[in-house]
Amino acid sequence: MFINGQWSDALNGETYPVTNPANGQVVDTVPSASREDVDVAVKAAQASLPGWAETSPDDRASLIRKGLQRVDEQADEIAELLTAEQGKPVFEAQGELHHFLHGMEFYAGLASKLRGAQVPLPPALGKHAYGLVLKRPVGVSVGIVPWNFPLTLMGTKVGPALIAGNPIIIKPARTTPLATLKIIGLLNEAGLPPGVLQCLTGAGNAVGESLILHPAVRRVALTGSTQTGRRVMQLAGTDFKRITLELGGSDPCIICPDANLKRAVSGVVVGRYWNAGQQCLAIKRLYVFEEVYDAFLQGLVEKVGNYRVGDGTTRPDKPFIRMGPLHTAQQREEVEGQLGDAVEKGAKVLVGGKRPDDPASPDGHYFEPAVVVDVPEDSRLATEEVFGPVLPIWKVKTLDEAIAKANRSLWGLGSSIWTQNISWANRALREIDAGVTWVNQIHYGYDELPFGGVKASGLGQEHGPEAVEYYVERKGAVFGGLDWE
């Protein structure tokens, strides 16, 4: 782990193995933090706070940039490590690392541009008084990260926390700590003061909960499931800790009769099957207008049928692998259970939906991407978050029907519409209950735009300059006038 400026074992010596989802082999062994380790790290963070808060924004940015350069120099090695622990193909891991670097650079650029406000005040209590809105660091922060995008989702917490003057402790998912540790080590080597950026490894219900409950922690950022979000909110609520919760989703996508079908098919394929469908922002429910239903499905099924599933550590001399294994055996069983339930209730699988006959390794969690139609509204595919490469599709007749169905969900994270009709696009932007709506675009979380969910998809936002607001406490200040008698 990385605690107070150095690599550390757990104080009680406990460790656990990290395994490769492609073949079940152990990639490395990491410490399993105890409550005592949490206490050491939080105290180190607390000690670093005054100094980091006083560090000039330019110096903060320059230290972050020096660290990013080191990360960039080792990009290939880090991407391979991410593939080995997470399962995504190397080219997707490289894409994720690039996204991490871009997001962190975005925040380094913002460091010197954070502003408060000066506010005119009524003269009743003295002329020439004015108000200020000061922004102060919120304090010791904790970032709890899931396994699907370990690096980008670490960056969306580290970047805004550090530039706003806060120390932050990262708790990666139990199964994906390796590339994260590597990056946190490199960022520290660039000269961050001890305690400013730390990493503790271990289970969420042990390390994560101890961090949240530690009295000196003031801010918790979770990206994870809706169930974990409820738990984190309860724990943090007792002491009114500041939280943001980026949780699950079941993004709808609407394909209109006038959509550019070729582009829409490509957009939906990336939107559903990237990262083996294990994305919060994946298209998890597809509504296609009846006029283009057959043509769209034909294009989609052909493309999905050509997907190659295999070990993500592809080299140029091996066949190109488009989709790696699912992250864990449990994850694959969950998706199989959801699909099986829909099929039992009458759904039809048009392509995929089973374990490959010739898996790259019998111990890999491989699963063929699936397209499913005639899906009953009460099936698990329709009502639960499907965190894997299975796409349920429904035929719709009108935009009213499509939007009503899109909104018939517990979640409200992303959403999209494919149409050339500006009025229809406008209706989707205004009427779909979601944190983001893309028009004729794939589901992608831009660093430049605020991003967060409504309903059971969470609370608060990451990305964009807006994310920094969740790492400061705004303080009202009044500067009295000079006309007291």
The interface region with ligand NAD, picked from 110-118, 159-167, 240-248, 420-428 by CB under 6 A, is 240-248
Site for ligand NAD in 402-461 (CB under 6 A): 413, 453, 458
Q: How far apart, in whole angstroms, are the C-alpha atoms of residue 338 and residue 387? A: 10
Strand order in the sheet with 141-144: 6-7, 2-3, 197-199, 168-171, 141-144, 219-223, 242-246, 458-459
Minimum CB separation of residue 306 from ligand NAD in Å reads 27
Site for ligand NAD in 180-219 (CB under 6 A): 204-205, 208-209, 212
Residue 366, Cα to own-chain centre: how many angstroms?
23
Residue with tokens 């990385």: 2
CA-based angle 123:473:150, to the nearest 5?
155
Task: Rank residues 163 and 217 by Cβ distance to ligand NAD and give the closer one.
Answer: 217
Of the candidate residues 85, 92, 246, 334, the single one contacting ligand NAD (CB under 6 A)? 246
Q: Which residues contact 223 (CB under 8 A, 6 or more apart)?
A: 144, 145, 146, 153, 156, 157, 246, 247, 280, 462
CA atoms within 13 A on the CB side of 37: 28
Q: Does 171 bind ligand NAD (CB under 6 A)?
A: yes
14 is catalytic: no
- Which contiguous run of DSSP H or E holds residue 29? strand 26-31
Site for ligand NAD in 37-96 (CB under 6 A): none
SS3 196: coil
Of the candidate residues 34, 83, 166, 223, the single one contacting ligand NAD (CB under 6 A)? 223
Of the candidate residues 225, 361, 440, 441, the single one contacting ligand NAD (CB under 6 A)? 225
Is residue 16 a contact partner of residue 30, using CB atoms and an 8 Å limit?
Answer: yes
Q: Does 274 bind ligand NAD (CB under 6 A)?
A: no
CA atoms within 13 A on the CB side of 398: 3
246 is catalytic: yes
DSSP state of 11: T
* Nearest residue (beta carbon) to ligand NAD: 204
For the chain, first and last CA: distance in Å? 61
Minimum CB separation of residue 75 from ligand NAD in Å reads 22
Site for ligand NAD in 110-149 (CB under 6 A): 144-149
Per the residue annotation, which of 85, 92, 105, 246 is the catalytic one?
246
Minimum CB separation of residue 215 from ligand NAD in Å reads 16
Task: Rank residues 167 and 452 by Cβ distance to ligand NAD and give the closer one.
Answer: 452
Of the candidate residues 89, 249, 252, 277, the single one contacting ligand NAD (CB under 6 A)? 249
Torsion of CA 184, 189, 191, 192, to 10 degrees: 20
Provide the annotated active-site residues.
246, 280
Residue ranges that bind ligand NAD, judged by CB under 6 A: 144-149, 153, 171, 173-174, 204-205, 208-209, 212, 223-225, 228, 231-232, 246-249, 280, 385, 387, 413, 453, 458
